[in-house]
A and B are shown apart, each in its own frame.
Chain A
Amino acid sequence: MLGKLLKHEISATARMFIPMYVVLIITSVVGKFFIWLTSKEAFIDSVPESFAMLVSALSSILTILYSILIVAVLVATFIFIVMRFYKNLFTDEGYLMFTLPVKTPSLIVSKLISAVLWILFSLVIVIISLVVIFYSGEIANMLKEFWSSLTDYVARENFNFKDTYHVSMPTFAVELIILMLIALCANLLMIYSAIAMGSKFSSKSRVSGAVKAYLVIYITTQIATSILMYILFTVVPDFFGALSENQGDAIQSTIISTGSINIVFCGIYFYITNFFMKKRLNLD
């Protein structure tokens, strides 16, 4: 059933995301055209001065709009994800979702996977858009040089790197990506748990209750993290003590401990979300 939920979740959310991404790509192409046009001296010289000014003014406005749009796309992706979770489960649509013969954890996981996929996709779209706008022969050469010097560096230094950090550079990169994905899931699940708890914090409005719940969960998480770190530092003095002696061990243990703490928080948020959706559901 998780597969079916995920399928419907992605097709329902695509309706909001895809048009936004199409707009961004179209704007990038139009922007690229203006950049090309204003860079052509033949064009500037061939048209009346006032028209050339108009074009360059338009081009500047477009640049500003474009920068706003990039930020807006990333922010809107995030807002859509949060709104979707709330609207599909805790408004009238919840009457359909919660009477489907599916397990509550499947509802949460389908929303989470779809959210992570859209966030990654939005980053890919933003990168594509930036490439469209800024791509030129010069930059391509710069990137090529950068890439070859990077691969050279990795090839040359990987042995030393491995010696110091106990993992190869690619492995290290993969570790960081996994760490970021875990942190992303923890953040999303924290918001989900706040929305699920919403009605406990305000009998009038689930939304304002969710905001209060979020603050409470956020502060609790910060305190819990500080206490955990404090324990790691004091109770296990050698845990980070290795920092001065062995950088590699210290970084690896930092990655592993940060990852583990985030996984534990994912579990806690998931449990809270599931509990409130299963045992304390109260749709209006």
Chain B
Amino acid sequence: MSNILEFKNLKKQYGKFNALNDITISLPAGKIIGLLGPNGSGKTTLIKLVSGLLIPTAGEILIDGLNPGTDSKKVISYLPEKNYLNDYMKVSQLIDFFVDFYSDFDKTAALDMLSRLDIDPERKLKTLSKGTKEKVQLIMVMSRKAKLYLLDEPIGGVDPAARDYILDTIISNYNNEATILISTHLIADIESVLDEFIFLKNGEVIMQSSVDDVREQQGKSVDALFREAFKC
């Protein structure tokens, strides 16, 4: 199977601080992969490097064989941990914005998900609650037929009921060729949907494995393994 993402000796420094240190891994296409690690371990930095928001200090990133750039951005659907919505827009205007810039955006799917969540497309974003805005943002991201989804803390700010819906949304909108990279420290909540996981600690990959392997060989959940690996 081909690799959707490859990191070769990837390094990112902020000033003298090493955010990511010599990372060399490959991620196969068609999987849901958890990017797991405590706060400050470099999860967001790694995702921002792939999305093209940061430039590596050294090393190389290949996204479906491409270096980060305009072409790679066409195949990546990125959900940042920030709220990037223009508050004055209506939800429907936001949809038009995505339709204009992303040829793989499925407007019908977006409207369908909005109606299932009782979000009126004619409402202005500034009238929506913080949690609803996060849902709208996730719907935009998941309505694209991208090759690689980068979800940075997608369930961090929403209540447990919405968490289930969000995970359902992620799973149901996911086709088998696409890859989803989810960064989070809420492992127990997403463990059931993961195929693979990466443990990140102080900017280094300390483990990359499939969830089944961990369960079968070690008889543990990823959550338990995480608690062991990152015990304070």
Contact = CB atoms under 8 A, between A and B. Distances in A.
Contacts of A7: 100
Interface in A1-31: 1, 4, 7-8, 12, 15
B70 interface: yes
Given A279-B55, A281-B53, A15 B88 contact: yes
Contact of A101 (B54, B83, B85, B102): B102
B84 A96 contact: yes
Nearest to A87: B86
Given A99-B51, A281-B53, A93 B100 contact: no
Interface stretch (B22-30, B73-81, B163-171, B211-219): B73-81
Given A1-B101, A101-B73, A92 B54 contact: no
B78 A99 contact: yes
Interface string A189-221: 000000000000000000000000000000000
B52 to A, nearest CB: 7
Contacts, number: 53
A96 B83 CA distance: 9
Interface string B82-100: 1111101000000001001
A276 B71 CA distance: 20
A2 to B, nearest CB: 12
Contacts of B100: 4, 7-8
B32 to A, nearest CB: 21
A92 B84 contact: yes
Given A4-B101, A15-B88, A98 B53 contact: yes
B55 A95 contact: no
A283 interface: yes
A99 B68 CA distance: 10
Contact of A102 (B51, B82, B101): B101
A99 B76 contact: yes
Interface in A148-180: none
Contacts of A144: none
Contacts of B70: 101-103
Size class of the contact patch on chain A: 20 to 34
B158 to A, nearest CB: 18
A92 B82 contact: yes
Contacts of A53: none
A282 interface: yes
Contacts of B101: 1, 4, 100-102
Chain A interface, DSSP helix/strand/loop, else mixed = loop
A281 B55 contact: yes
A99 B102 contact: no
Contacts of B76: 99
Contacts of A280: 55
B74 A95 contact: no
B109 to A, nearest CB: 19
Contact of A99 (B14, B55, B73, B97): B73
Given A99-B76, A101-B70, A8 B54 contact: no
A101 B55 contact: no
A93 B55 contact: no
Nearest to A96: B84
Interface in A97-111: 98-103
A281 B86 contact: no
A16 to B, nearest CB: 9
Please name the 9 residue pairs, one residue from A and one from B, whose CB atoms are nearest each other, closest first.
A95-B84, A96-B84, A101-B73, A92-B82, A95-B80, A101-B74, A4-B100, A100-B101, A99-B78
Given A93-B84, A96-B86, A281-B55, 19 more contacts: A4-B100, A8-B97, A12-B88, A92-B80, A92-B82, A93-B86, A95-B53, A98-B52, A99-B73, A99-B76, A101-B73, A101-B74, A101-B101, A102-B70, A103-B70, A278-B55, A282-B14, A282-B54, A283-B48
27 contacts: A1-B101, A4-B101, A12-B86, A12-B88, A92-B80, A92-B82, A92-B83, A92-B84, A93-B84, A93-B86, A95-B53, A96-B84, A96-B85, A96-B86, A98-B52, A98-B53, A99-B51, A99-B78, A100-B73, A100-B101, A101-B70, A101-B101, A102-B70, A102-B101, A103-B70, A281-B53, A283-B48
